[in-house]
A and B are shown apart, each in its own frame.
Chain A
Amino acid sequence: MNRFTLSAGVVFTLAVAVTVGLLAFVADRSTDARRHAAALAVFDGLVQTETSLDRDLLQVVAGILPHYDPLVEHVRGLETLAARLPAGDAGTAVLYRARIDAKLDAAERIKGTAAFVRNAVNYVPFRIGRYGETGRPEVLARMQRALIDELAGRPSDAGGAVAVPAAPADGPEAAELAHIALHLGTLRDQKAELRDAIDAYFAIDARGVLETLRTAYLADYARRQWWSQAITLVLVGLTFLLFVALGGSIVRLGRAHRRVRESEAKFSTIFHAAPEPVAIAAVPDGTLLDVNAAFERVTGFTRGEALGRPLQDFAADDEVRGLAAALTGPAPLANREMRLRRREGPEFTALVSLEAARIGRSACCIAVARDITDRIAAEHGMRMADSVFENAREGIMITDAGGTIERINPAFTRITGYAPDDVIGASPRLLNSGRHDRAFYRDLWAALIRDGHWSGEIWNRRRNGEIYPEWLSISAVRDREGRTGRYVAVFSDITTVKRHEAALQHLAHHDALTGLPNRVLLADRMEQAMARTRRSGRAMAVAYLDLDGFKPVNDRHGHGAGDALLVEVARRMAGVLRTGDTLARPGGDEFVILLPDLGDAQECAGVLGRVLAAVSEPVSLPDVGTPVRVSASIGVSLFPDDDSNPDTLLRHADQAMYQAKQAGRNRFQFYDADRDQRVQARRETVAALRAAIGAGRFTLFYQPKVNMRLGSVVGAEALIRWNHPERGLLSPGEFLPLIEETELEVALGEWVIATALAQMADWHRRGIDLTVSVNIAARHLLRADFTDRLTALLAAHPELPRHRLQLEVLETAALEDIGRARTILHVCREMGVSAALDDFGTGYSSLTYLRHLPVQTLKIDQSFVRNLPHDAEDCAIVESVIVLARALGRTVLAEGVESVEQGRRLLHLGCDLAQGYCIARPMPAADLPDWIRTWQADPRWTADDRPDRLAG
């Protein structure tokens, strides 16, 4: 890491330096460009200014420019610009400045000379003019001629002196003429001088030198430019390379850093994950440098509180010295049991080890404390378990995995008579009573191996040979790997219990006086008989019998005589009944006879005639002198003509019995003739329905089921409609009750299943795979051949996945025969067909029953959903159902959702699935595909943010 840091640092420094250099260089280049522009401007300015100076000097010489101010400006300009000439070709520059200086000197000469020439040009004519005012005309003319010649540059005479006319040698005129001649001479001289000066001025070639200078400068500039670009390229390249290197260094540095961090995290994790409290303490004072999570957990001190304190602080008072000694002493501490302190709560016992270590440069020690509180508690628990073992009232036997007895308790000896020495090392088979067959023991062992325990009643044999029942509970004791180490059998002698139980059983079901089945057993028998009758398709008669004249016997001869009479009559009646008939005594002087397996109503008449005869025979009673005579009045109800429940059948029979009494006693009477009319009407409706099936007047509508949260369609419920020729489209509520519990109901149910399957197959071909549920009536479901028929119907559509079909069963229907319903639904589930419990909540099902019913879905009845979300009680019920469904691992779906708000509430309560008018009304099959394509969940559902999402 250090190497990386160093190299990254070096590269970074270099990169920065080179970048700065590059920037400086580029900046310098831009300055250079400005300087170049300035230099070019200087060159151009010099040329222009020199040209201007040339021009203005010529104008001065020509007399066009009467003053020198512009010349001064040009001179200043030249001087200023010349001073700004770029450094470079020093020699040429010096030469150029010298030329310029020479030019300026020459210019000064021109200026001075031109001034004199101008003087003369102005003054001579002026003076000649003055002379002309008084002088001689011929002289004047000559002088004018001489002036013109002079001005025109024509030499007027070879001698050079101005030809001045002869005149008196002295006098004013002579002086005047001499003066004019002097100035004419001056004019001539100065003009010559001016010509010289001009020649001298223009002979000086400054511009050529300037051109040389400019050429040299441009060449130099181009060269510098080239170098500068080359250097820039090199610098840019270098910078790029350095930054690439820097990037590489940073990446490597990051990698190295991460490795160190990971390593540190790894060791830190190990340290903190260690299950034992570990502390690192400085030597010798014991100052804590670090503690792990287990230390915090066990002592209750946080790391912040612990660090900086000495290790000894955590020892109980009497242990501090020992710990301090161990810290300073040479020998490490190994597994010494010590009392340690917690932040709060009692001290605890731990095995403490100290190990010297070095961390970095400091000496320290690593202290590990293993909390053995649990072990001590375990020892205590073991002692307690022992005492339980010894003192239990139940016999306890412990065997090894092979079943060899290892240990027994005193209660074992007490119950079985076997002492420990008799049985330890032996097999429990010595207790075998011989009452149970091989299969019993095989099942017992199978359960034990599968479930780990078995409990039940078993007959065993005591040492003295006596066979007794015991309630035995065997548990397999498994080790961590799940292997059985031993078995523990606990049993109690239930001999007494069994005895009482049998007596109670009989009492509960039999009339104590006659030994006949009482009302309770009668109800049971009736159920069985009705079920049998249904299956057989024959008839059963329920006869209610009341003794005529019993009360006077009872009053006259006492209860004893009455009881004796009842016993005798019962005996006689039993004598005339057929095998399979049931005679019961619900109470008093009333008897009930069940006559199953009848071809028709008349068949029972013979039996009942015998009964009447048997009862009316005289009876001799003990302690009563003369025999007594009684007779019987019998009411009869016929099943299944009277397709009612047992109570109703009894009640009907009872009513008929009263009719029989009214009709004169000693006779039997069938129940109620006027119901034939109703039976007739029903038969007509049933006939119409049957015809409707054949005529194809039924159709299925489908109501979608959706997941409100996900906005997806999860299925549809098939709902039957009767397209009645006169009454229009009828809902099931208008015709199903008429055929409840009839064969037609079953036929219609099968039609529904077949039609729904055909529709699903049609959809399946069109790529629509939808779970469709059909409603199954209880009678239909409970039929013996239900699963066979269903298999056949499904077989017609092998391409359909079976789980697409769901059966909806009314809760109340399922409860009619829960055992049977469970079996059938279980078979259906094996086939792949799932089931839903419809109208859930209306049947007051118990949790236990539900648990055993193999249904996947609970449908919350719409009567609860209707009042959501305002009815608190319904809210509570729905919530309970949802929680219950969740607890049982069932899906829950709400029916009859009519508003968005209800949907929201259901979502909030944890129910995602729903059907109802708010989502869609039931619709013809043809409409469903389009509806699925276009449906979208209400945004208020999908946006709903439920705090605790329950499993839907």
Chain B
Amino acid sequence: MTRSRSRTGAVLGAFLWLVPVTAQAGEAAREPIRPLPPPAVTDPLRVELGRRLFADPILSGDGTVSCRSCHDPGRGGADAQPVAVGIGGATGTLNTPTVYNAALNLAQFWDGRARTLEEQAGGPITNPVEMAAHWPDVLARLTASPYRASFRAAFGTDPSADTVAAALAEYQRTLITTGSRFDAWLAGDAAAISPEEERGYALFKSYGCASCHQGANVGGNMFQRFGFFGDPFGDRDGERPSDAGRFAVTGRDADRRVFKVPGLRLAVLTAPYFHDGSVATLPEAVQLMGRYQLGQEIPEEDITLIVQFLATLPGPLPDAGPAGGDDP
């Protein structure tokens, strides 16, 4: 079996679909999933400062929680919890997304309320159930610490909310998990993945998963309504405020239950799943996705193959060394 479509329908569909632009037929062979671009380090001083801040609880209200507490490289850049647990054990309402490859997302947070990493960075720091800090306190602490010199070196100014966010964002832009087996296969190394994994990828496309989960981050570059077929929240236990999705940002009815399509690069590492962390395992998530998004009940064996394919997506995790554990 090759990557070219063997099935008649697929060939037919593709053919018909592409009639208006046959001139670009060669481009049609391109895969929906692209290799991860290597991170572009623009400013090593800021990256290094961001790396230290990311791991430092100095940014939290009581000095107990750092960014890294929840975005743990040891846990795929997330926290393995259904919903985030912040300062003093406070819990949030949403599942922690991975910090890896976040730079590639079209927006941050499930509802996409932050357009950039910089906008996002301030959110958890001041969120009462996450790091529960106040900027004046944080900045006073930073200014009184050796960080001040680092800020002056990196930005030429004393610490400020903007520079803290900028340093963190600059650091996160380096957290790209290049070097996966799948990217090697995309680059032409046919032996990089097994036939089963390749078949899983074909199913991933055939079932239509790749319509939304595409691009370098296998998702993250669009919004989509959750529950195109059926009513996932009704099937769960009824709709909660956190299920409003992008409506909370835009206030438009059309945006109810619309969420950012999460990237699946590290999906195999970041259970539990969905915005509310309500799904514990990946096969279960694939199954529910098939049901609510594709209107299909994907057979067990196909789910297994798809999950096998998903396991080829992660590359080595930057900064996931021994220091990747809990904060001091």
Q: Which of A112, A151, A186 contacts B222 (CB 8 A)?
A: A112
Q: A115-B212, A119-B208 are in contact. Are A126 and B224 (CB under 8 A)?
A: no
Are A68 and B294 neighbours in the complex by a CB distance under 8 Å?
no
22 pairs across A/B with beta carbons < 8 Å?
Answer: A62-B21, A66-B30, A66-B210, A66-B214, A67-B33, A67-B34, A67-B214, A67-B221, A68-B222, A69-B216, A69-B221, A71-B222, A72-B105, A112-B222, A115-B224, A118-B208, A126-B9, A126-B207, A148-B12, A148-B16, A151-B16, A186-B295
- Residues of B whose CB lies within 8 Å of any CB of A are 7-10, 12-14, 16-18, 20-21, 24, 27-28, 30-34, 104-106, 115, 205-208, 210-212, 214-216, 221-225, 228, 254, 258, 293-296
* Cα of A122 to Cα of B202 in the assembled complex, Å: 11
CA distance A726 to B296 in the complex (A): 156
CB pair B28 A129 closer than 8 Å: no
Which A residues are CB-close (under 8 A) to B16? 148, 151-152
Q: How far is the CB of B112 from chain A (nearest CB, A)?
A: 10
Among B13, B34, B214, B293, find the residue whose CB has the most chain A CB atoms closer than 10 A: B13
- CB distance A68 to B20 under 8 Å? no
Known pairs A64-B21, A118-B211, A123-B296 / 8 extra A-B pairs, C-beta < 8 Å: A62-B18, A66-B30, A67-B215, A68-B106, A68-B222, A79-B115, A115-B224, A121-B13
User: Would you give the shortest CB distance from B97 to chain A, in whole angstroms?
Assistant: 16
The residue of chain A having its C-beta at the shortest distance from the C-beta of B21 within the complex is A62
Complex: chain B residue closest to A75, CB-CB: B106
Distance in Å from the Cβ of B206 to the closest Cβ of chain A?
5
A124 & B9 in contact (Cβ 8 Å cutoff): yes
A122 to B295, CA, bound (A): 13
Determine if A802 is an interface residue (Cβ-Cβ < 8 Å): no
Interface string of A870-914 (1 = CB under 8 A from B): 000000000000000000000000000000000000000000000
Chain B residues with Cβ under 8 A from A129's Cβ?
A: 7-9
User: Are the CB atoms of B7 and A126 closer together than 8 Å?
Assistant: yes
Instruction: For the complex, give the distance between the alpha carbons of A128 and B32 in Å.
Output: 23
| Cross-chain contact of A122 among B10, B31, B223, B225 (Cβ < 8 A) | B10
CA distance A59 to B32 in the complex (A): 13
Interface flags, A304-320, vs B, CB<8A=1, else 0:
00000000000000000
Residues of A within 8 A of B295 (CB): 179, 182-183, 186
Across the interface, which residues of A come within 8 angstroms of B258, CB to CB? 112
What's the least CB distance linking B151 to chain A, in Å? 24
Measured CA separation A148–B254 after assembly (Å): 31
Shortest CB–CB separation between residue B1 and chain A, in angstroms? 15
Instruction: For B24, list chain A residues within 8 Å (CB).
Output: 59, 62, 64
Q: Please name the residue on chain B nearest to A122 by beta carbon.
A: B208
A63 at the interface (CB under 8 A from B): yes
The answer to whether B18 touches A64 (Cβ under 8 A) is: yes
Q: Which residues of A contact B17 (CB under 8 A)?
A: 62-63, 121, 151
A652: Cβ under 8 A from any B Cβ: no
* A59 cross-chain contacts in B, Cβ below 8 A: 21, 24
* Cβ-defined contact, B31 with A66, below 8 A: yes
Residues of A close to B296: CB separation below 8 A: 123, 179
Q: Give the shortest distance, in Å, between B310 (CB) and chain A (any CB).
A: 17
Q: For residue A74, give the distance in angstroms from its CB to the closest CB of chain B.
A: 11
A111 x B214 contact (CB < 8 A)? no
In the complex, the answer to whether A68 meets B221 with C-beta atoms within 8 Å is: yes
- Distance of A64 Cα from B210 Cα, bound (Å): 14
Q: Would you give the shortest CB distance from B252 to chain A, in whole angstroms?
A: 8
Q: Does A173 contact B (CB under 8 A)?
A: no
Q: How far is the CB of B110 from chain A (nearest CB, A)?
A: 15
Residue A125, interface by CB 8 Å: yes
Quick check: A63 and B14 within 8 Å, CB to CB?
A: yes
Check B221 against A125 for contact (C-beta < 8 Å).
no
The one of A69, A115, A122, A182 in contact with B13, judged by C-beta atoms closer than 8 angstroms, is A122
- B28 contacts A63, C-beta separation under 8 Å: yes
- CB pair B221–A122 under 8 Å, yes or no, is no
When the two chains form their complex, are residues B206 and A123 in contact, meaning their CB atoms are under 8 A apart? Answer: yes
Cα separation A840 to B78 with both chains bound (whole Å): 127
A109 / chain B contacts, CB cutoff of 8 Å: 254
A71: contacting residue among B7, B27, B212, B221, CB under 8 A: B221
Shortest distance in angstroms between A354's beta carbon and chain B's nearest beta carbon?
A: 76
Q: Does A772 interact with chain B (Cβ within 8 Å)?
A: no
* Residue contact B221 to A128, C-beta cutoff 8 Å: no
B residues less than 8 Å from A62 (CB atoms): 17-18, 20-21, 24
The docked-state distance in angstroms from the alpha carbon of A69 to that of B30 is: 13
Mostly, the A contact residues are helix
Interface residues on A, range: 35 or more
Known: A64-B24, A75-B106. A125 touches B208 (CB 8 A): no
A108 CB within 8 Å of chain B: yes
A116: Cβ under 8 A from any B Cβ: yes
Residues of B within 8 A of A186 (CB): 295
In angstroms, Cα B13 to Cα A147, docked, is 9
Q: What CA separation (Å) do A112 and B293 show in the bound complex?
A: 12
Q: How far, in Å, is B290 (CB) from chain A's closest CB?
A: 10
A120 at interface by CB-CB < 8 Å = yes
Within A116-148, which residues are at the interface with B (CB < 8 Å)? Answer: 116, 118-126, 128-129, 147-148
- Establish whether residues A116 and B31, one from each chain, have CB atoms under 8 Å apart when the complex forms: no
What chain A residues lie within 8 Å of B8 (beta carbons)?
A: 125, 129
A190 to B, closest residue via Cβ: B228
Q: Which residues of A contact B214 (CB under 8 A)?
A: 66-68
| Distance of A172 from chain B, by nearest CB (Å) | 13
Closest to B207 in A: A123
Q: Are B206 and A122 in contact (CB under 8 A)?
A: yes
A65 to B210, CA, bound (A): 12
> How far, in angstroms, from A112 to B260 measured CA to CA in the complex?
11
B206 with A126: CB separation less than 8 A: yes
What separation, in Å, do the CA atoms of A59 and B17 have in the docked complex? 11
Cα distance A151–B31 in the bound complex, in angstroms = 22
Minimum CB–CB distance for A413 against chain B, Å: 120
Residues of chain B with a CB closer than 8 A to A76's CB: 106, 115
Most B-side CB within 10 Å, residue of A76, A108, A124, A129:
A108
Please indicate which of the listed interface residues B18, B207, B212 has the most CB atoms of chain A within 10 Å of its own CB. Answer: B212
Alpha-carbon gap, A147 to B254, bound state (A) = 29
Kindly list chain B residues whose C-beta atoms are within 8 Å of the C-beta of A75: 106
Measured between alpha carbons, how far is A66 from B10 in the docked complex, in Å?
14
- In the complex, A288→B213 CA distance in Å? 106
| CB–CB B33/A123 < 8 A | no
B33, B210, B258 pick with most chain A CB within 10 angstroms = B210
Distance A182 CA – B228 CA, assembled complex (angstroms): 12
Q: Is the CB of B18 within 8 A of A122?
A: no
Closest A residue to B30 by CB, please name it.
A66
Q: How far is the CA of A671 from the CA of B210 in the complex (A)?
A: 167
In the assembled complex, the Cα of A118 lies from the Cα of B14 at a distance in Å of: 10
**Complex Cα–Cα for A111 and B106 (A):** 13
Q: For window 54-91 of chain A, which residues contact chain B by CB distance below 8 Å? A: 59, 62-69, 71-72, 75-76, 79
Residues of A within 8 A of B21 (CB): 59, 62-64
Write out the residue numbers on chain B whose beta carbons fall within 8 Å of the beta carbon of A151: 13, 16-17
Q: CB < 8 Å: which of B9, B32, B205, B211 contacts A125? A: B9
- The residue that B211 contacts in the complex, of A122, A124, A126, A183, with Cβ under 8 A, is A122
The interface residues of chain B lying within 8 Å CB-to-CB of A148 are: 12, 16
Residues of chain A with a CB closer than 8 A to B31's CB? 66
Chain A CB count within 10 A is highest, among B8, B211, B224, for B211
Report A-chain residues with C-beta under 8 Å of the C-beta of B10: 122, 125-126
Residues of A with C-beta under 8 A to B105: 72
In angstroms, Cα B16 to Cα A397, docked, is 161
Q: Contacts of A108 on B, CB cut-off 8 Å?
A: 222-223
* A109→B254 CA distance, assembly (Å): 10
Least CB distance, A371 to chain B, in whole angstroms: 81
Q: In this complex, what residue of A is CB-closest to B7?
A: A129
A125 touches B13 (CB 8 A): yes
Which B residues touch A111, using CB under 8 A? 222-223
List the 10 closest pairs (A to B, CB-CB), nearest first: A125-B9, A119-B208, A67-B214, A66-B32, A115-B211, A67-B215, A69-B215, A118-B211, A151-B16, A68-B221
A118 to B205, alpha carbons, bound, how many Å? 10
Cβ contact within 8 Å between B18 and A120: no
